[in-house]
Structure 1
Amino acid sequence: MSRSIDVELVNIQKKFGDNVVVDSFNLQIEKGECISFLGPSGCGKTTTLNMIAGFLEPDQGDLLIKGKRMNGVPSNKRELGMVFQTYSLFPHMTIFENVAYGLKLRKVGKAEIAERVRKVLELVKLPHVADRYPKQLSGGQRQRIAIARALVTEPSLLLLDEPLSNLDAKLREELRDELKRLQQEIGVTTIFVTHDQEEALYLSNRIVVLDHGKVEQIGTPWDIYNRPASEFVHTFIGKSNRMPGTLLKSEGEQLLLRTEAGFTLQAPARGRTFTGNQPVSIYVRPEKIRLVVADTAAESANQVKGTVKLTSFLGAYTECEVEVGGDVLTVRIETGNEDAGLTAGSTVFLQWKSEDVFVFARKGNER
């Protein structure tokens, strides 16, 4: 079965002066996909979204929507809906009038406007606020109305520019759930810009990780988290413990390493090439570490001895900080597992599987 491509970026580049903010961006987005652009501030994600929306023009490359080249085509000719970080609702208009605004500009008949506004307000679960004004709604309700206004025109492409960033944690979580439900229910192709890794992992079919205008990796949330293409991707997505060390030996895909604290560890090369005595950074995620109170080194190729410095109960799990030589490693223990006796000063042993270790070459004098 052939794929239906809704959006395609071909060697897109954008400069502001001499600063290249988006460089050689290539991407195909299939119909119905939810794609997230993820990265730190200044990585080029919003600039790319604004080029897709028609607010900015690429300096190089081609932008296609449904197979048609969009370079130079104004935003209002692109059949898209956009939701901004700020709600951008008209304060002097009722919610009904705000949502209906785009339909009126398109000269849709009054009866059809009334029906489409009713349906989209039901979709975002706010049919009862049609006669209110924006100031009478909570932040979460206003953002849902902004989404309704974008959806009411039945766009072929929905663009979301950090729509949850101005909400408190609880509202952000609720609206994140709502966005996922809406996207799956409607099936509209969606591009979501965020710097929040959890939002991207939760909402996306695929994630584009950007840094300094360049694409670091494109993949499913599982691949991005479990098969990072670079050290930047690994450290930006999720939490990870880093131990500086040195490569002792490389045999095929298996590496033998020594940390600066003096521990010998094993790890897979994952297709990367290393040389003997090369300085490396060794990573293992907190949830991949098993914490035991007895020395069972014979059972594990990767075991280190440490001292508990701090424990924090966080509901679903307890987080422990364990000093290992000169490093402090974070360990997450699921609630319900035995954690008695894990008080500050306790001696413990940390174990993990070699396949859960990621190794990257260190640069220069980086520790």
Structure 2
Amino acid sequence: MSQTIDVELRQVRKTFGSNIVVDEFDLQIQEGECISFLGPSGCGKTTTLNMIAGFLEPDGGEIRIKGKRMNGVPSNKRELGMVFQTYSLFPHMTVAENVAYGLKLRKVPKAEVKQRVAKALELVKLPQVADRYPKQLSGGQRQRIAIARALVIEPSLLLLDEPLSNLDAKLREELREEIKRLHMETGVTTIFVTHDQEEALYLSDRIVVLSNGKVEQIGTPLEIYNRPATEFVHTFIGKSNKLPAVVEVQDGETLQLRADAGFKLQATAKGQKLTAGSAAHAYIRPEKLRLAVPGTNPLGANSAQGRVRQLSFLGAFAECDVEIGSATVTVRIQTIGEHAGLKPGDPVALIWHPEDVFVFPGEER
């Protein structure tokens, strides 16, 4: 059975003067999906959200919601719920009045308003604050009320623009769990804008990675993290060690490289076509590196001899910086077990698998 397409962007484009902010954006969002727009500041993610919401008009292309063309349709005619990073609650209204605001604009009967407001507050687990004013709430509570206000109108589409960015780390974690729970319970199609990769990985069915107004990749969190389409995606999502290198030979999907740091390594090409003698950037994530006793050199794996430079304790794990040749790479290790006694200056071997190395073309020298 085919999925219903709730939102469709066709070659959407937006410019401000000579600056192209969104360039030829194509996307289909299925009914009930949670999609994240992820990228650094200025990449076009909020501009795209504002075009979907009707706050900005695209300069080219088409936006469709529920099969209907939205170009030129005002935001109040799109039946959308919107949550901003600044909460945007009315300070002179109680929580219940804030949540009811959209329903009153739609002239919903009073009895139904009361019932739906109570249901929305139950949904965000804050029925006890109905009679309070926004200034009497914590930041996390205010953001949950903003979400309740967006959901109470029973929107066809929920838009969230950096809703967690004003909260501290612990509250952000709690609120993202709430947003995921609410999405599972309501099933409303959701677009979530964020620059925080962890939020996007946690919340999304699919992620749209943006850079300089262009789509770099669209995929599930697993695809984005484990099969990045571009060097930008790989470096923006997660942490990685970069090793400038030169390609010695490519034999089908097998690459032999010589790192500038002074050691050789193997990698799988993953579709890349590189020529012998060309510059390359090899990447390996900290969790894919393994520490071993000095001199270890297992068959079929990459290995290099090094020395511990620094250890950083991060709770459940630690990051160990290891010097190999002229490079320093970071290894993620458990804080208990065989490596618990490591200290700066200790000799170690590093081991990693060729399939865990990502290689992209480098700058010609």
TM-score by length of 1: 0.98
1:151 aligns with 2:151: yes
> Structure 2 CA distance, aligned partners of 1:199 and 1:335?
25
> Structure 2 CA distance, aligned partners of 1:103 and 1:300?
64
> Structure 2 CA distance, aligned partners of 1:329 and 1:362?
19
Residue 40 of structure 1 aligns to which amino acid in structure 2? Answer: P
Match of 1:101 in 2: 101
Q: Residues 1-367 of structure 1 correspond to what in structure 2 (within 5 A)?
A: 1-365=1-365
SS at match of 2:321: strand
Q: What is the percentage of aligned positions where both structures have the same residue?
A: 71
* CA apart distance, 1:187: 0.2
* CA apart distance, 1:250: 0.6
Residue 42 of structure 2 aligns to which amino acid in structure 1? Answer: G
- 8 Å CA contact 1:143, 1:163 repeated in 2: yes
> Structure 1 CA distance, aligned partners of 2:331 and 2:339?
12
CA offsets 1:38-85 (integer angstroms, 9 cap, x no match): 000000000000000000011110100010000000000001000001
Q: Mean alpha-carbon deviation: is it higher for 319-328 or for 144-153?
A: 319-328
- 8 Å CA contact 1:300, 1:352 repeated in 2: no
* CA apart distance, 1:12: 0.4
Residue 157 of structure 2 aligns to which amino acid in structure 1? Answer: L
* CA apart distance, 1:318: 1.4
Residue 39 of structure 2 aligns to which amino acid in structure 1? Answer: G
Residue 271 of structure 1 aligns to which amino acid in structure 2? Answer: G
SS at match of 1:125: coil
Residue 229 of structure 2 aligns to which amino acid in structure 1? Answer: A
Moved over 6 A (4+): none
SS at match of 2:76: helix
CA offsets 1:113-169 (integer angstroms, 9 cap, x no match): 000000000000000000000000000000000000000000010000000000000
* CA apart distance, 1:294: 2.9
CA offsets 1:309-356 (integer angstroms, 9 cap, x no match): 111221211110111122110100124331143100011111101000
Show structure 1 runs of 5+ residues with no match. none
Residue 282 of structure 1 aligns to which amino acid in structure 2? Answer: A
* CA apart distance, 1:300: 4.7
> Structure 2 CA distance, aligned partners of 1:173 and 1:212?
28
> Structure 2 CA distance, aligned partners of 1:172 and 1:346?
38
CA offsets 1:11-48 (integer angstroms, 9 cap, x no match): 00000001100001000000000000000000000000
> Structure 1 CA distance, aligned partners of 2:106 and 2:296?
71
Show structure 2 runs of 5+ residues with no match. none
> Structure 2 CA distance, aligned partners of 1:132 and 1:262?
65
- 8 Å CA contact 1:160, 1:192 repeated in 2: yes
Residue 210 of structure 1 aligns to which amino acid in structure 2? Answer: L
- 8 Å CA contact 2:268, 2:357 repeated in 1: yes
Residue 236 of structure 2 aligns to which amino acid in structure 1? Answer: F
